Amino acid sequence: MASPHSPDIRFLRICFLLPICLFILFPPRPVLSQCKKLPVIFNFGDSNSDTGGLVAGLGFPVNLPNGRTFFGRSTGRVADGRLLIDLLCQSLNASFLGPYLDSLGSKFTNGANFAVVGSSTLPKYVPFALHIQVMQFLHFKARTLELFSAGSGHLINDEGFRNALYMIDIGQNDLADSFAKNLSYAQVIRRIPTVIMEIKNAVQAIYDQGGRKFWIHNTGPLGCLPQKLSLVQKKDLDPHGCLSSYNAAAVLFNEGLRHLCQEMRSGLKDATIVYVDIYAIKYDLIANSTKYGFSSPLMACCGYGGPPYNYNIRVTCGQPGYQACNDGSQFISWDGIHYTEAANTIIASKILSMAYSTPRIAFDFFCH
């Protein structure tokens, strides 16, 4: 038997360890999009994916320093730069999604974004609840096909709607609003099935209109947001400084959403429904912040009040008196609620790796 110190054994050890070392030093990059046709995407959600709907719909100002990192100006996004949805669109070499409510600047040839800041699933009939966003989509589709039939060019046709990707990223505000109303943890949990049902209804309505490809994000670790940490008086903190009860509610919501996606895969014929674990990605970012190059993972870059959270509800980012960090790339949180472009870039990379998707298929599956 060869000695463990023999040249042959040492060589075999090097051969075994080399790929592991290379993986750590040079992690695999997401495969470039293989889209063979124009990607068409319709998005439904809240401020995590609002590309200007609040400004277009209500005229509500979203001032600098929002937009400073990538755009150099405010674009209606509540972030310093690109949102996760922007980065996912860029992975397909597609244009950014224009907000449905914006009458200028977009011809909606690659889809539309129905997400608006503050949106939730409940109450059901208020702007801009998920139910209303879906109704807006149904109107958009009917009007688009009508104009296409009348000879208007460069519009999405029936095949385009059928092959489009339908993204849903909502639920965070339902949980946050419940806690803000001083409901007990048990009361918050009891509301979750109703929220899940509204998401199911949205998918069913789109499916009934011919949609077959769905991409559904679960909700992130609500209890790690600097805003929540700042506002809650009695803090039940986990080892990483996040609110345990808030995150526990998010985990239960995500479990219900995961079961819903599993159920719909069986019940909706020919549908592809991808469930994406955003919670795991974002919590890992906070728990291992130094590994990713971030400092003060629970502190907002733009806000007021300094450590530990730099959040004051009376002086929020962009309002008179706010203070912004010089380098947003060192921060996970932009304004206490939303993530920085630097954080979103890592989140997008992890999504594109397919490691957090069920089933594990590439983001560009819908446009092959």
**How many C-beta neighbours within 10 Å does residue 121 have?**
23
CA proximity to 309, closest of 237, 247, 243, 225 = 225
Cα dihedral 128, 131, 136, 137 sign: positive
Amino acid identity, residue 236?
Answer: D
Task: Report the run of H or E that residue 216 belongs to, with start and end.
Answer: strand 213-217
d(CA 241, CA 85): 28
| Cross-strand pairs, 302 | 324
Q: How far is CA 125 from the centre of its chain?
A: 23
Both structure tokens of 183: 């409901």
Q: Which residues are catalytic?
A: 47, 335, 338
DSSP 8-state secondary structure symbol assigned to residue 315: S
Long-range contact pairs involving 73-76 (C-beta distance under 8 Å, separation at least 24)? 75/51, 76/50, 76/51, 76/52
| Cross-strand pairs, 214 | 166, 273
If 0-12 CB within 10 Å is exposed, 13-18 middle and 19+ buried, where does residue 216 land?
buried
> Quick check: helix, strand or coil at residue 102?
coil
d(CA 329, CA 342): 5
